[in-house]
Amino acid sequence: MPTALGRGHCGGHITLLFTIEDVLDDPVAQGSRGAGLCLKDGVEAISKGEDGQGKLEVLFQDGEYDSKMYSDVLGELIREIPEIGLFDWELNIRMSLPASQGFGMSASGAIASAISFQRAIGIPHEECLRRSFLIAHIVERKRSSGLGDTTALSSGGVERRIVAGSPFSGGFLDLGPGISEGWSSETPVLLAWSKKTGKHTSKYIDNPDWKIKICEAGASAMEIIGDGDWDSRRWSELIERSLIFSRDSGLDLDASRSEIIGAANEAIGSSGYSERLSAMLCMLGESVVIVPNDFLDGSDWLDEISSILEAGGFSTFSSKIGNLR
């Protein structure tokens, strides 16, 4: 049997506001409504398969991370495509951003790896993408590592999720039940995060008290964000509602979020960009995303704000809003 080689890439995702909708037993029907930003940068996965029995070795190119998720992805794929289990796999993962900081790296990694395994054995592009989103959503829900990241990433760009659930379902990979819409631009964004590892998403979405606060704030936001056409005219509204959600949910006061949002706003103010930039929390990390208030604005501010935040002990990364799928 010849060596099988495949590559997958998926950008990250930042949730800005959301609900938690996980009461149904079927993970395909679970998820969230909400809105956020899909990123150009995320996870690259390269897989190499040799004649074997479905074993997996995961090699991380930029740090040490938990490989269990990738084993779960492979296991789900083998159940759907038994041919994948005829290989032993080496999976190389390159992450542009840290895990557990609100950048959707678990969803991005699950999608990218699922794409790479399938492309290695020649699965057609559209079938490969649809199955990758479905598998990633199922794995995310079973691990409580995410709610709506995969559904958001299935649309790309500046997204809103108006119906909770996986973007694809069933043996024929039909649409739904989750529905996401997106529009795209080349808007620059600056990500900043605390250097210590953030809390796992499950610490919030599986906690009864946090669920109540988040769901009430998210439902209120979606009454406005979920209504009407979704296009670039809604950019300022998304920023405004995201800031209100952070406050009403209480997430802006939890952990070190108040520290980093304060530092970001101070950097913006001291640089004279208060009328030009906004800083929003990335859910559910200890991180912020700084964006221009005009989505068509340039990137000349990035280096200055980044330097100030890094001097204050935070890590930063410049990216752009990703394309539509």
- Three-state DSSP at 258 gives helix
pLDDT above 60: residue 124: yes
pLDDT (tens digit per residue) in 72-109: 999 999 999 999 999 999 999 999 999 989 999 999 99
Alpha helices in the chain (DSSP H): 68-80, 105-120, 125-143, 149-155, 202-205, 208-225, 235-249, 257-270, 302-311
pLDDT (tens digit per residue) in 283-312: 999 999 999 999 999 999 999 999 999 999
Across 5-30, b (16+ Cβ under 10 Å) vs e yields ebebbbbbbbbbbbbbbbeeeebbbb
**DSSP codes joined into one string, 40-88:** EEEEEEEEEEEESSS-EEEEESSS----HHHHHHHHHHHHH-GGGGGEE
Read off the pLDDT band of 58 (50, 70, 90): very high
Closest by Cα among 31, 11, 8 to 21: 31
pLDDT for the residue numbered 85:
98
Map out the domains of the chain with their CATH numbers. 4-182 (3.30.230.10), 188-320 (3.30.70)
pLDDT above 90: residue 48: yes
Closest by Cα among 6, 167, 173 to 84: 6
Residues in the chain: 325
Whether 162 contacts 172, CB under 8 Å = no
Sign, CA dihedral 193-158-200-136, equals negative
Residue identified by tokens 């057609």 is 124
pLDDT for the residue numbered 148:
96
pLDDT for the residue numbered 8:
98
Q: What is the pTM (predicted TM-score) of this model?
A: 0.96
pLDDT (tens digit per residue) in 140-173: 999 998 999 999 999 999 999 999 999 999 999 9
CA distance readout (Å), 320 to 7, 230, 304: 22, 19, 17
Check residues 132 and 208 and name the one with the higher pLDDT.
132
pLDDT above 90: residue 200: no
